[in-house]
């Protein structure tokens, strides 16, 4: 965990960090689906996936290359993959 905390400090020091959190295990999930206009709620990880999201960082990078430079510093990359995705910002007045 100290490696993750250190990365968080580096992101803060660079002035580009946003919220980040560790997610609980997949077996703690609650899945919500909408069926015929009504919510259907299931306990457990019923979304099919070989890999699971374990946490997230929001990094306001100027370029994809900058985002990649931060992604390779995430300790979990040694045992898995890091997905980089843009954020769609909505200006709702």
Q: Print pLDDT tens along the chain (93 aa).
A: 899 889 889 988 998 877 777 777 777 777 767 788 887 877 766 556 666 777 888 888 888 888 999 999 988 888 877 888 887 776 776
Please report the pLDDT score of residue 13 as a whole number. Answer: 92
Instruction: Tell me the two tokens of residue 15.
Output: 């002035």
**28-35 contacts, C-beta under 8 A, 24 or more apart:** none
Instruction: Tell me the two tokens of residue 68.
Output: 């990649």
User: Beta strand 30-35 with 38-43: parallel, antiparallel or unpaired?
Assistant: antiparallel
**Range 34-55 burial, b when 16+ CB lie within 10 A, else e:** eeeeeeeeeeeeeeeeeeeeee
Burial of 57 (0-12, 13-18, 19+ CB in 10 A): buried
What does the pLDDT look like over 44-58, one tens digit per residue? 665 566 667 778 888
């Amino acid at each position: 965990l100290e490696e993750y905390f250190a990365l968080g400090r580096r992101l803060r020091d660079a002035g580009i960090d946003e919220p980040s959190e560790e997610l609980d295990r997949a077996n703690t999930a609650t899945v919500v689906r909408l069926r015929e206009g009504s919510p259907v709620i299931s306990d457990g990880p019923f979304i099919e996936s070989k890999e699971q999201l374990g946490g997230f960082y929001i990094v306001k990078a100027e370029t994809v290359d900058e985002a990649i430079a931060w992604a390779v510093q995430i300790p979990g990359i040694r045992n898995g993959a890091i997905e980089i995705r843009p954020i769609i910002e909505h200006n709702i007045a």
